Amino acid sequence: MASLKHSSFSSIVVSLYVAGLGLVGCAIVSPHQPNAKETSAHVQATYLQTPLHFEANEGQTDGQVKFLSRGSGYGLYLTPQEAVLALRKPKPSGSEQETEETSPDFAVLRMRLVGANPKPELTGESALPGKVNYFIGNDPAKWRTQIPTYGKIRYDNVYPGIDLLYYGNQRQLEYDFIVAPGEDPAQIAMAFEGTERLELDTQTGDLVLQTASGEVRQRKPLIYQEGEGDRQTIEGQYVINDTHVGFHVATYDTTKPLIIDPILVFSTFLGGSGIDNGNGIALNGGGQITVTGWTETLDFPGFPSLNPLQPTIGGTDVVFITQFTADGSALVFSTYLGGSDSDQGNDIAVDGMGYIYVTGSTHSTNFPTKNAVQPNLAVEDGVAYPPGPFGNPTDAFVAQLSPDGSALIFSTYLGGSRDESGNGIAVDGNRKIYVTGDTNSTNFPIQNAFQPTNGGGGGFDAFIAKFNSNGSSLAYATFLGGGNYDVSKAIAVDEIGQASVTGLTRSANFPTKNAFQPFHGEGGGNGTADAFVAQLTADGSALNYSTFLGGSDLDIGNAIAIDGWGRVSITGRTFSENFPTKNAFQQFKNPTLVEEPCPVPGAPPNLPPCFRPQSDAFMAQLTRDGSALAYATYFGGGNDDQGTGIAINSRGEVLIIGLTGKTEDFPIKNPFSDELTGWETSFLSQFSTDGSTILFSSFLGGEVADGGLAVNKAGQAYITGGAANPGFPTVNPIQPVRGSPNLPDAFVAKIDPLRDNLNDKFSPLGPGDVSTSFSRTPCGGASAGTFTITASFTNTSANTLSNLLISVKTLMGGNMLCNANGGPGGAGAILTVPLQGDLSDSQLSPGETFTVQLAIGLQSFTPFQFLVDVLGEKD
């Protein structure tokens, strides 16, 4: 190998940022390959990070930079004189958590062109629809919004007759030298800084850049000319000289342009302990998907910042809020929210007008605030206690964004002098905002509280808070907990503003009321926790009900949802053999023990392996008053399983997402993937309205340990989480390859679990001279149980019937509405609804089959009849 030594370049560069416009994506699912098995599952769309979007620099980074692209594990910065690539190499999996004293490995590569035009014009090409917004720090003058993005950046005339074009593909940076006819490619000379050694791989022709943190490769250049409808490849290779790298190009047609296309591959830096994760997902009225989570960031390295948004370059986690179009074809916007320390988005909600609400946690003393109930990070007597891992306590935050993500409507801290986290958020029809989480502060801000003091005198309690619609005041804020450890993980609100929460409690004296299970399953204490479910009155001054839910081992409620009838469903994780069940799909916990290495220091290598009990997911629904179980079931196989997200469709069928360990006996049905990838994989499952059967259950790939789930009115599921498995499946993705074999990427996906599960049946009862056929198609996005029936009639009499369209709707709490259109010659159609009985007072809920008898005819002719069986439940 030929080699060239360079001095090492040092700079403090830490952490990761979401690629493209903010959401590092791995699409979630692809149909399982056909194996003579019918499947009713359907993947409607997948959403994935678009590769290498370039932002115009409008003040969000150093002024020398004209365009930048941030990605998972890298930041690319284009100045007129050089391209700067900052790369993060996280610590190997299992290493100690990073702190300010243990910074991660990093590398900074700089490429400049020797003897080139010092002031080339940089222009963005291939304009993209997505915009980027930065609310970093608490100085609004430094916030930046509606920043345009581009797919390509062109440097004009870097050498006489030679342009340079940057673009990206699948986390590989590509740059084309475009040599005009008659110009000499020998002018091109690239100098690299930040490497310890440059060398050519004589087998592949790659240029290998050795850094202190790892290897970066520049693939053998693709050199070509465009001909009459085809591409002619020209032989060529890198040439390393004493101070720079150039190209040797074989003979080519100098009357045509020449393209030299190197590809810089830096995927070895993308893996280990640093992650990007999607934690929450919500849908707006137009079907657009909005996701929140957190990502680690890199800033422009190596120079004093010129008016930066963020005053330090240190490693920070930043909240991202990213929105996709409903069909997943484009990114609408990405917004970054945070300060100079660690910030994390945990949950998201969208109201009927499209305004976006986010909650999470922040260590930053300069987190962006506006119209704040609490404008500052809370401290006690001027001292932050206890000091968090970044030197500050953690407060929850609550923020509202405009529908396009470009305006911060309000943003506030929420917390006391110790640590808080906002874990769940919901918004009601009047745009009131509900937040839940955990706090160990005795001075958490309380208002109109059901429980005004911390139950443990400083231990962790759950909290629930309600803001008015503009976030300017608290309607109520209350502790919820006993004398030990209590955490609320999720919140949902019903139509009249009653908030329900779930989580875990170790407190034997956790407050209960009208409880299905009034006592802790194990008695409380430090050893185990029970799940809990609690519902507050609309004004927050009292409990409607509160109950333990668990057995004699550890039980955790992870997610909660409320259906249109006010019934609360939760999912989570249980280790208990005696978790309460009713009408269960799976009545008993799988007793399998999980094998793992014995954690005994100095143990001999032949020591038998250790075993521990595994957990199952659970799914449970309470009656409306919380005093009884409607149903409850274990759900899992022979390894660790847990439910992490839950949603309820318009028919009252519960869907859950979660994680399962590698096991062959996990319950699946009509899957689009029954293949296990990696040690853990995610799943999506849909239950019947009574919880006793599964309608659909499939592996998805990836991991959704902190993921979110939403369902639209048509029953299609939207999922976000983190995908770490190399075998993570995709379908029609923008980017078909994960950025790293080890690094979890956030993903978003849209899945149609059951396209045809309404199970309506048609029975013609017409006269003998009329033959009748029926077909129906679902009305996506309509009310519960809505569908359309097209009835085709063939009449052998003198009068001819045309096609009639009959819409039958089961509206929650309303009437059954029927109408008919059509009929020949203006005669009009007669629709009698029904022939038997009066349905004007009926209320149909998912669950029970109800037969409706309809009659249809023409003017004075005797109507003929057909039956429609609708899945519904009579209250």
- Kindly report, residue by residue over 760-786, the tens digit of the pLDDT: 333 443 444 444 444 443 333 333 333
Task: Say yes or no to pLDDT of 757 above 60.
Answer: no
Q: What is the pLDDT of residues 54-83, one digit of tens each?
A: 999 999 888 899 999 876 667 889 999 999
- Mean per-residue pLDDT, 278-294: 85
Residue 421's beta-bridge partner residues? Answer: 438
* Least confident segment among 210-219, 415-424, 571-580: 210-219
- Mean per-residue pLDDT, 261-272: 60
| C-alpha to C-alpha distance for 387 and 749, rounded to whole angstroms | 38
Query: Which pLDDT value is given to residue 872?
Result: 34
- Mean per-residue pLDDT, 338-343: 89
Query: Which pLDDT value is given to residue 316?
Result: 66
What confidence tier does 164 reach under pLDDT thresholds 50, 70, 90? very high
User: Number of C-alpha atoms within 13 angstroms, CB side, residue 449?
Assistant: 18
* Choice between 25 and 417, residue whose per-residue pLDDT is larger: 417
Of 519, 419, 499, 521, nearest to 460 (Cα)? 419
Query: Which pLDDT value is given to residue 41?
Result: 37
Average pLDDT, the chain: 73
Task: Say yes or no to pLDDT of 20 above 80.
Answer: no
What confidence tier does 861 reach under pLDDT thresholds 50, 70, 90? very low
What confidence tier does 746 reach under pLDDT thresholds 50, 70, 90? low
Per residue in 320-359, is it b (16+ CB within 10 Å) or e — as a string? bbbbbbbebeebbbbbbbbbbbbbbbbbbbbbeebbbbbb
Task: Say yes or no to pLDDT of 789 above 80.
Answer: no
If you count them, how many residues does the chain have? Answer: 875
Give CA 825 to chain center in angstroms: 55
| C-alpha to C-alpha distance for 464 and 448, rounded to whole angstroms | 11
Give CA 870 to chain center in angstroms: 34
Token pair recorded at residue 647: 């949603």
DSSP 261: E
Query: Which pLDDT value is given to residue 733?
Result: 36
Contacts of 355 (CB under 8 A, 6+ apart): 400, 401, 402, 403, 409, 431
Q: What is the pLDDT of residues 478-530, one digit of tens each?
A: 999 999 999 999 999 999 999 999 999 999 999 999 999 999 987 555 558 99
Q: What is the pLDDT of residues 523-577, one digit of tens each?
A: 555 558 999 999 999 999 999 999 999 999 899 999 999 998 899 999 999 999 9
| C-alpha to C-alpha distance for 781 and 680, rounded to whole angstroms | 34
Query: Which pLDDT value is given to residue 210?
Result: 86
| C-alpha to C-alpha distance for 646 and 559, rounded to whole angstroms | 6
* Least confident segment among 209-218, 269-278, 344-353: 269-278
DSSP 267: G
| C-alpha to C-alpha distance for 142 and 61, rounded to whole angstroms | 10
State phi, psi for 153 to the nearest 5 degrees: -130, 130
Token pair recorded at residue 434: 């509900």
Query: Which pLDDT value is given to residue 638?
Result: 78
Give the CA-trace dihedral at 659, 665, 669, 671, to 10 degrees. 60
- Mean per-residue pLDDT, 596-613: 57
CB atoms near residue 757 (< 10 Å) = 18
- Mean per-residue pLDDT, 197-207: 92
Query: Which pLDDT value is given to residue 598?
Result: 56
| C-alpha to C-alpha distance for 531 and 490, rounded to whole angstroms | 12
| C-alpha to C-alpha distance for 434 and 858, rounded to whole angstroms | 54
Query: Which pLDDT value is given to residue 124?
Result: 96
pTM of the model: 0.76
Task: Say yes or no to pLDDT of 796 above 80.
Answer: no
| C-alpha to C-alpha distance for 655 and 685, rounded to whole angstroms | 6
Give CA 498 to chain center in angstroms: 26
* Choice between 451 and 593, residue whose per-residue pLDDT is larger: 451
